[in-house]
Amino acid sequence: MTTQLLDLAADDQLAEAVGDAALAALLRSKPADDEIPSAVWWLIAETLRTSVTIRREVTSASPPDLDTLATLLTEASLLTEAALAELAETTSARPMLVSMPPSRADHSRVAPTRPTFGLQLSILFLARMLVGNRTTTPQRLANTLAAHLRALAVLEVDLHSR
């Protein structure tokens, strides 16, 4: 019980520092046996905010401002890397390397929205973990954060090739 009270106090201090009481309330609703520290969830919430802004900019009807997008992509990447580092430090979870078989797909036929779709999926998976009431394993979160970093990198490469 004392640990839970200390965690609530830490959440309240973070909410006061960041000014986001709704997120603090969400974190209080996480399962008691969740191994993910509140600081990691806060970083994930921030990267989601930035990533949603990126997705909106890229999918808007008007052409995106490439300088603004570059700044947002850097911010989202740094926040995601910080969440991964904090997760690794507190739980020792690191993303598992996944080897992909060589692709035989015709890359000339890939839809131009694919990088945006990849980002949208990674946002969805992270958001579900953040708001979900199930326990999140550190390894699963580490893998999902790594996938989000890859989606950001693919989008950045796609934007530079335009």
Residuewise pLDDT in 10s, the chain (162 residues):
334 444 545 555 554 555 577 777 777 777 777 889 888 999 999 999 999 999 999 988 888 888 999 999 999 999 999 999 999 998 988 887 655 555 555 444 444 457 788 899 999 999 999 988 888 899 999 999 999 999 999 999 888 776
Q: What is the pTM of this model?
A: 0.77
The residue behind tokens 């201090």 is 13
Determine whether domain 36-94+111-160 maps to CATH 1.10.3470: no
| Beta-carbon-side half-sphere exposure of residue 152 (alpha carbons within 13 Å) | 27
- Domain definitions of the chain by residue range: 36-94+111-160
Which amino acid, 2? Answer: T
As a whole number of angstroms, the distance between CA 103 and CA 129 comes to: 30
